[in-house]
Amino acid sequence: MSESDWELVVGLEVHVELATATKIFCGCRNQFGDEPNTNICPVCLGLPGSLPVLNHQAVELAMRIGLALNCHVEPSIFHRKNYFYPDMPKDYQVSQYDEPINLDGSLELPDGTTIGIERAHLEEDTGKSTHVGGGGRIHDAGYSLVDYNRAGVPLVEIVSRPDIRSAEHARAYVNELRAILLATGASDAKMEEGSMRVDANVSVHKPGDPYGTRCEIKNLNSTRSLGRAIEYEMRRQIDLLETGERIVQETRHWNEDDGRTHTLRSKEEAYDYRYFPEPDLVPIAPDAAWQAAVRTALPVLPAARRVRLAAACGVTPAEAGVVVERDLDGFVLDAIAAGGVPARLLVHAENNLADGAGQLDVGAFAALTTLEADGALTATQAKTVLGELVASGGDPAAIAAAKGFEAMDDSALAAVVDELIAANPEPFARFKEGDQKVTGFFVGQVMKATQGKADGKVVTRLLHERAAGS
Amino acid sequence: MADRITRDDVAHVATLARLRLSDEELDMFTEQLAAVLAHAEDVASLDTAGVAPTAHPLPLENVLRADVPRPSLDRDEVLAAAPEVEEHRFRVPPVLGEAP
Amino acid sequence: MNRALETAAAVRSGERSAVDVVEEHLARIAEREGDIHAFNVVLADEARAAAAAVDDAVRAGRDPGPLAGVPIALKDNLCTLGIPTTCSSKILEGWRPPYDATVVARLTAAGAVSVGKTNLDEFAMGSSTENSAFGPTRNPHDLTRVPGGSSGGSAAAVAAGFAPLSLGSDTGGSIRQPAALCGVVGVKPTYGLVSRYGLVAFASSLDQIGPFAATVADAALLLEVIAGHDPMDSTSIDQPAPSLVDVLAQGVEGLRIGVLHELLDAEGIAPDVRRRTEAAADALSAAGAKVDEASVPAATYGLSAYYLIAPAEASSNLARYDGVRYGLRVDASNTGDMNEASRTAGFGAEVKRRIMLGTYALSAGYYDAYYGKAQQVRTLIIRDFKAAYEQFDLLLSPTSPTTAFALGAKTDDPLTMYLNDVCTIPTNLAGDPAMSVPFGVGDDGLPVGVQLLAPALGEATMFRAAAVLEEAMA
């Protein structure tokens, strides 16, 4: 398979439910998990005579999202998107069409790649259908039951430009977007609860050729599915093209069980939604003061946090990604301010604080790294002390003393090394010839002999000195 | 302006609007709609270059409401008006295909 | 005789009981409703109970409201809690809304007593009330004639004395034209002055609820009660109701009134209607107004623009009638077919015609030529009216091209029916207020109405001129 000849092109459409107290056009509660049809009123049920009134907070959160994605906020209007479906109370969806609230932004991935954002607009969510009978999926259902609690929940639809070139980047995009949404408080963005829904537009082409025909992939319930689906779809399209077939532009459904995408419907003839401006709503034009207030109130976003942490620790922003994602950057920065050693703090936060800081406090963390840097503790010893600090707090020096940790002095260590070299002439010979892998064997032996009190780096140095001729 | 509306146009539009027309109705509606649209052709003669469309006669903007909950309807009352109900939900026959 | 104003005063003072008032009207209904069919449902028990409550309030010294004990009829496209609201359509037959329209709530708070829901052209689409799924309403002046439409039932109810007041809705003339044909006062307020919350939508950017009454003062009183900002309607003007009853006697001295030549000279305006309009102009002149000829050139295109915009919005507003949540359901093996079967069985021919016309006007490839173009024409109409109102305070025109026509006379050709709205449509497109005032009879002895037009929020001026015209006919 000559996958390497082909370039993958992916654009993502992400719908997020906004974290408002009430729905977009009425005062019914915006609440997941309530008893069916208990949060409905004439407006969100679309009863004859009902009219929409826009939720102020929905506009506020939409602006937060737009500004966090570097969009510009525009005066905007709503349009009706007309189609029949039982989960649609009015058989039209109030959305935004060619005059959306947010335009032309960007999202920076942890590795520094920038993905363009075409738009992020407001719209209302639909109700939810449950299929009964048959296989539980639409195609062989006996009938459907509809719950309108979700109808009218405010959504922002974020449309990326087709700048994504790999499944990994697609996943990174979704993760980064989620982190931004959580940071701004605009949405809790849970794919498993449906408050963030991702559809992928996938196509392939040979570099230099125009973009290929794309297929829309739906039913992606996790970032893992997203990655798998993109990879499957890419191979499917490449296989077709390489056997001389053409790609049919269509919507495909990802099936988690069989690991394939399946045709849902052909989009050869795009559905005619007959968009026209919503006559029951008036334009929104957030003034400069409102926009400025939203912009000022934005928290430091993940990309900026990575830059900040990277600068403080002397690494690249990409290298600072894990710690920021884990929400420990603030903790590390505080520990630096308390006198800790940046590089060590970062390494520990990334490798040894997977479940968070627990009982560890900033001062103890800083002190621990100082002990390390001063040579009073080896890296291994520090990790052990850290584990205890996380579990039950305390003072690192006291814990180290209680465990009898002290770094061995160099001459005592040299004696141990020499003993082991004498006992293992053959491995040492290989080491002298340049076999670096033997180092691990010797270090391990030294650790065993010294009950972990040796500093691995010193052992390695001694080995090299002995190999060079004492 | 556009060409005269055809029988196929009317049939297509009826499908979009979820209306089923008999052959006689198709013929009748085609003729009637064509007559109405022909009458509306006079707007083609107007010079509307550079004229903004009016979606609203009112110059209102930024009509917003506070994000404060209001009482919802009584579920039983709403479901009592429904043609078919099961497990507190609206029951419909099988849905063919996904939402467009 | 201002039946509403006087009744309210009498009930408030305790001079008359609301129960007696309602019984008097229910008796009149019992006598003639069989011939006229103004109502889809008469609410006799509910009205008696409401009237009794008003009398209780008066006895207890509580303020019963400005419309205390006044019977009122409500067009059956206004949502009334727990009371069938059918829009004269099979698709909503028996549907009981779980809420009141804002105007209905305001009427109740004002002490008005609803005696019934009135007949209309199905979903307010028509000019004769012959499109009702429950049979036409007949003109009280001549039972072989139409009362006009779409608010034919509400107009007939007032004309027949079933209630001194009624509410209708006006999208292209559906209050004013039946008012003219039935010889009563009918008002379409400025768009946004009266809340649309609870009015079953036909064409959202054109629909307005408005009053019918036998007199100008009664119409003013009713409009004062229902008008004013409503937070449930985003298109509601952020202003309280205007004061109208108190300005009625101010006359028209010095007002500049323009006779709208594009409408007076429009195709189909009958000679007797034209003569009555000219007579109205003379009456206003005699009362001290400066009357001249006015022109709103784009008004000529009003009909065409309307028959693209209104059906387009209607096609979308009526999509919700799909048999899923309420209304008629005709079963089928899948939801799509069920939608289709329900709508096909539930909608009448005129409604289907307009849905298809509207769907076509919005469809891919045609939007710019039809809907888009019509919205541009609308801008031109607004501009031309604005220009006219630089020179004039009010405009005058016929309301309806002819007096009431015979039942069945115009039902074969939809286009012929649509032409009835040529004088009323332009103001819906502009969003400005207009009202029809009875001004004599035609050659056939049937009522003729003349139309007063005012700039946005110009109701007070308009009512002053209406009072003058009414006085001239007294």
| Residues A132 and A41 reside in one and the same domain | yes
- Find the domain containing A140 and state its range: 11-203+267-296
Report yes or no: B6 at the C interface, CB cutoff 8 Å.
no
Cross-strand bridge partners of residue A261 = A254
Compute the distance between CA of residue A372 and CA of residue C293 in angstroms, rounded to an integer: 98
**C331, C375, C380 ranked by CB distance to B46: nearest:** C380
Q: Which residues does chain C have within 8 Å of residue B17's beta carbon, measured at their own beta carbons?
A: 315, 319, 343, 355-356, 359
What is the domain count for chain B? 1
CA distance C296 to chain B (A): 14
Q: Is residue A50 located within the same domain as residue A195?
A: yes
CB-CB contact of C88 with C76 (8 Å) = yes
Residue A21 and residue A110 in one domain: yes
Length in residues, chain C: 474
Reported as a single tens digit per residue, the pLDDT across B55-93 is 777 889 999 999 999 999 999 999 999 999 999 999 999
The number of distinct structural domains making up chain A is: 3
Q: What is the CATH number of the domain that holds B21?
A: 1.10.20
A470 has pLDDT over 60: no
Does A131 map to a domain? yes
Please compute the mean of the pLDDT values over residues A403-420 and round it to a whole number: 79
Give the pair of three-digit tokens for residue A97: 């069409």
Reported as a pLDDT band with limits 50, 70 and 90, residue A339 is very high
Rg (CA), chain C: 21
Interface test with B, best of C376, C413, C419, C422 (most B CBs within 10 A): C376
Q: Convert the pLDDT of each residue in C179-232 to its tens digit.
A: 999 999 999 999 999 999 999 999 999 999 999 999 999 999 999 999 999 999
Residues A43 and A150 in one domain: yes
With CB atoms and an 8 Å threshold, state whether A48 touches C79: yes
Q: If you compute the radius of gyration of chain A from its CA atoms, what whole number of angstroms results?
A: 29
Residue A445 in domain: yes
Any A CB within 8 A of B82 CB = no
CB contact under 8 Å between B9 and C360, yes or no, is yes
How far is Cα C416 from Cα C412, in angstroms, rounded to an integer? 8
At position A461, the amino acid (one-letter code) is R
- A439 and A393 together in one domain: no
Same domain, A67 and A124: yes
User: 């570099």: which residue's tokens?
Assistant: A207
Q: Are residues A280 and A391 in the same domain?
A: no
Shared domain check, A80 and A23: yes
> Which has more confidence, A133 or B1?
A133
Best B12, B18, B65 member to test A by mutation, with max A CBs in 10 Å, is B65
CA–CA gap between residue A132 and residue A142 (Å, rounded) = 6
Last residue of a domain, one of A383, A402, A421: A402
B12 Cβ contact partners less than 8 Å away, ≥ 6 residues apart: none
What is the spatial distance between Cα B50 and Cα C59, in angstroms, rounded to a whole number? 64
Residue A16 lies in a domain: yes
- Residue A223 domain-assigned (yes or no): no
CB contact under 8 A, B77 and C98: yes
ipTM confidence: 0.97
Domain residues for B19?
7-44
Report d(CA A464, CA C328) in Å as an integer. 90
Q: Do A145 and B90 touch (CB under 8 A)?
A: yes
Asked which of A376, A402, A428 is the last residue of a domain, the reply is A402
Closest residue in chain C to residue A37, using alpha carbons only: C325
Question: Roughly what angle, to the nearest 10 degrees, separates helices C349-362 and B7-16?
Answer: 100
| Partner residue facing A91 (CB), from C198, C201, C319 | C319
Question: pLDDT class for A135, splitting at 50, 70, 90?
Answer: low
- Alpha-carbon distance A51 to nearest alpha carbon in chain C (angstroms): 6
Contact C320 A89 (CB under 8 A): yes
Judged by CB atoms closer than 8 Å, whether chains meet at A47 and C99 is answered as yes
A238 assigned to some structural domain:
no
On chain C, the residues whose CB falls within 8 A of the CB of A144 are 335
Task: Inform me whether the C-beta atom of residue B10 falls under 8 Å from chain C C-beta atoms.
Answer: yes
Examine the domain organization and report whether A171 and A105 are in the same domain: yes
* pLDDT one digit per residue (tens) for chain C, 474 residues: 679 999 999 999 999 999 999 999 999 999 999 999 999 999 999 999 999 999 999 999 999 999 999 999 999 999 999 999 999 999 999 999 999 999 999 999 999 999 999 999 999 999 999 999 999 999 999 999 999 999 999 999 999 999 999 999 999 999 999 999 999 999 999 999 999 999 999 999 999 999 999 999 999 999 999 999 999 999 999 999 999 999 999 999 999 999 999 999 998 999 999 999 999 999 999 999 999 999 999 999 999 999 999 999 999 999 999 999 999 999 999 999 999 999 999 999 999 999 999 999 999 888 888 899 999 999 999 999 999 999 999 999 999 999 999 999 998 888 888 888 999 999 999 999 999 999 999 999 999 999 999 999 999 999 999 999 999 998
Tell me the percentage of chain A whose pLDDT exceeds 70: 95
In angstroms, the separation between the Cα of residue B83 and the nearest Cα of chain A is 12
> Is the Cβ pair A279, C322 closer than 8 Å?
no
Burial of A424 (0-12, 13-18, 19+ CB in 10 A): middle
Cβ within 8 Å of A, C 68-127: 77-79, 85, 87, 92, 95, 97-99, 101
In B, residues 12-41, which contact C (CB 8 Å cutoff)? 13-14, 16-21, 29, 32-33, 35-37, 39-41
Instruction: State the nearest Cα–Cα gap between A136 and chain C, in angstroms.
Output: 16
C-alpha span between C317 and B17 (Å, rounded): 11
Residue B54 lies in a domain: no
The one-letter code for the residue type at A57 is Q
| C-alpha span between A182 and A16 (Å, rounded) | 11
Least CB–CB distance from C431: residue in B20, B57, B73: B57
Which of A46, A47, A276 is the closest to C312 by Cβ? A276
Chain B residue with the nearest C-alpha to that of C319? B17
Inter-chain CB proximity B88 and A282 less than 8 Å? no
What residues of chain B, 28 to 47, have a C-beta less than 8 Å from chain A? none
Q: Are residues A435 and A384 in the same domain?
A: no
Cβ contact C99–A82 (<8 Å): no
Decide if B100 is inside a domain: no
Question: Is residue C190 a contact partner of residue C177, using CB atoms and an 8 Å limit?
Answer: no
For domain C3-233, give the fold. Amidase signature (AS) enzymes (3.90.1300)
Has residue B67 been placed in a domain?
no
Distance of alpha carbon A235 from alpha carbon A296, whole angstroms: 45
- The CA-atom distances, in angstroms, between B85 and each of A214, A319, B80, C163, C294 are 40, 56, 8, 40, 59
Which of B 2-31 lie inside 8 A of A, CB atoms?
A: 16, 18
Q: From B88, which residue of chain A is nearest by alpha-carbon distance?
A: A36
Same domain, A142 and A274: yes
Q: Please work out, in degrees rounded to the nearest 5, the angle formed at the alpha carbon of residue C40 by the alpha carbons of C36 and C41.
A: 110
Question: Which of residues A346, A367, A402 is at a domain's end?
Answer: A402
Q: Which helix (H) or strand (E) holds A129?
A: strand A128-132
Domain ranges of chain C: 3-233, 251-304+369-473
Domains C3-233 and C251-304+369-473 share a fold: yes
CA-to-CA distance for A276 and C367, rounded, in angstroms? Answer: 9
> Hunting for tokens 């509403």 — which residue is that?
C4
Counting one residue from chain A and one from chain C, the pairs whose CB atoms sit within 8 A come to 100
Interface check C60 vs A, CB under 8 A: no
- CB contact B92 to A (< 8 Å): yes
- Please name the residues between 408 and 437 in chain C that touch chain A, using a CB distance below 8 Å: none
Which of B31, B92, B95 best tests the C interface by mutation, with the highest count of C CBs <10 A?
Answer: B92
Q: Are C96 and C43 in contact (CB under 8 A)?
A: no
**CA-CA-CA-CA torsion sign (C161, C164, C167, C169):** positive
Q: Which residues of C are catalytic?
A: 75, 150, 174
CATH H-level superfamily of C251-304+369-473: Amidase signature (AS) domain (3.90.1300.10)
Which residues 6+ apart lie within 8 Å of C5 measured at CB?
A: C217, C218, C221, C245
- Is there a contact between C353 and B32 if contact means CB atoms under 8 Å apart? yes
Chain C CB contacts of B53 under 8 Å are 372, 375-376, 378-379
Average pLDDT, chain A: 92
pLDDT for the residue A407: 64
**What's the pLDDT at A376?**
83
Q: Is the pLDDT of residue A140 over 70?
A: no
Bridging pattern class, strands B64-65 and C256-260: unpaired
Q: Strands C256-260, C394-398: parallel, antiparallel or unpaired by DSSP?
A: parallel
CA C310 to CA C313: how far, in whole Å?
A: 5
Is residue A53 domain-shared with residue A117, that is, in the same domain?
Answer: yes
Residue A363 included in any domain: yes
The answer to whether A13 and B55 have CB atoms below 8 angstroms apart is: no
Report residue A51 CA to chain centroid gap: 38
What does the pLDDT look like over A348-359, one tens digit per residue? 999 999 998 999
**Which residues in chain C touch residue A48, judged by CB atoms under 8 angstroms apart?**
79, 85, 87, 92, 95, 97, 200-201, 320
Residue A139 pLDDT: 59
pTM value is 0.91
In order, the DSSP letters of A230-248 are: HHHHHHHHHHHHHTT--PP
Distance CA A153, CA A61 (A): 13
